[in-house]
């Protein structure tokens, strides 16, 4: 003989079902309108106000959305500012009249443009351009840093710090390398920062790669 299921048993089954299906009211939100909710938690005397809960949730959702929009707008504004600064530097590069002035501009303006703490320049193999701030680096070693991307390096290999920043290796925490093709040689610009988060592997470099093309064109023009 089957056991008779009373009212309490039905209610217990409903309670157990709701506990196992916590998204039930998300699927059927209209049911909330027909239920009567207690004004207090009997065990803790904590007041439960569904309308206030909904209001708080809406406010929290709105705040999150607002913060996301502000972040997007800020990123857009920063990108526009960067574009203007890159354009200004590009015009300066194209207006240089000698290799020496171009190297000086690269060291001074690129460091300021990207807010770096140190900028060093290197030529692979024979140093064609004579300048006090240009060092020599083996072409194979330099090329090993550009296997993933042909023009920029941001992987933050710690071995690169003493190699490209020999006099500042103790203070440089992050860096970027730019490779500029100059005939059969390579012109490497190393820019370092004291901030470990200044340069990261996933950083966008589209504007910097544009600037590399401008420098490359000007180097060929002046050679």
Structure confidence by residue, pLDDT tens digits, 11-22: 888 888 888 887
Exposed e or buried b per residue across 98-125, where buried means at least 16 C-beta atoms within 10 angstroms of its C-beta: ebeebbebbbebbbebbebbbbbbbbbe
Q: What is the pLDDT of residue 59?
A: 66
Structure confidence by residue, pLDDT tens digits, 37-63: 555 554 555 555 556 666 666 667 657
Class of domain 97-222: alpha beta
State the average pLDDT over residues 17-40: 70
Question: Torsions phi, psi of 70, nearest 5?
Answer: -60, -40
Question: Torsions phi, psi of 90, nearest 5?
Answer: -60, -45
Q: What is the pLDDT of residue 203?
A: 83
Q: What is the pLDDT of residue 5?
A: 54
Quote the pTM value.
Answer: 0.62
CA distance 75 to 83: 12
Measured from the Cβ of residue 210, the count of other Cβ atoms closer than 10 Å reads 13
Q: What is the pLDDT of residue 79?
A: 58
Q: Would you kindly state where each structural domain of the chain is located, as residue ranges?
A: 97-222
Identify which of 33, 49, 52, 51 has the alpha carbon closest to the alpha carbon of residue 41: 49
pLDDT of 164 strictly over 90? yes
Q: Tokens at residue 200, please? A: 């990261």
Q: Which has the minimum average pLDDT: 62-71, 152-161, 196-205?
A: 62-71
The average confidence (pLDDT) of the chain is 78
């Amino acid at each position: 003989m089957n056991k008779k299921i009373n009212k309490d048993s039905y209610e217990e089954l409903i309670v157990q079902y709701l506990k196992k299906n916590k998204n039930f009211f998300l699927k059927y939100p209209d049911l909330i309108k027909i239920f009567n909710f207690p004004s207090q938690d009997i065990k803790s005397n904590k007041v439960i106000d569904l309308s206030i809960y909904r209001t708080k949730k809406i406010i929290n959702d709105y705040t999150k959305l607002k913060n996301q929009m502000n972040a997007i707008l800020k990123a857009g504004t920063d990108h526009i500012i960067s574009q203007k600064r890159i354009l200004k530097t590009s015009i300066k590069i194209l207006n240089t009249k000698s290799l020496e002035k171009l190297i000086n501009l690269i060291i001074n303006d690129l460091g300021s443009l990207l807010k770096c703490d140190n900028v060093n320049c290197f030529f692979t193999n024979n140093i064609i351009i004579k300048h006090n701030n240009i060092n020599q680096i083996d072409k194979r070693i330099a090329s090993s840093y550009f296997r993933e991307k042909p023009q920029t390096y941001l992987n933050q290999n710690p071995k690169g710090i003493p190699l490209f920043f020999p006099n500042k290796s103790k203070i440089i925490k992050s860096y970027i390398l730019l490779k500029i093709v100059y005939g059969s040689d390579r012109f490497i610009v190393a820019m370092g920062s004291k901030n470990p988060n200044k340069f990261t592997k996933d950083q966008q470099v589209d504007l910097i790669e544009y600037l590399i093309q401008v420098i490359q064109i000007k180097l060929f023009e002046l050679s």
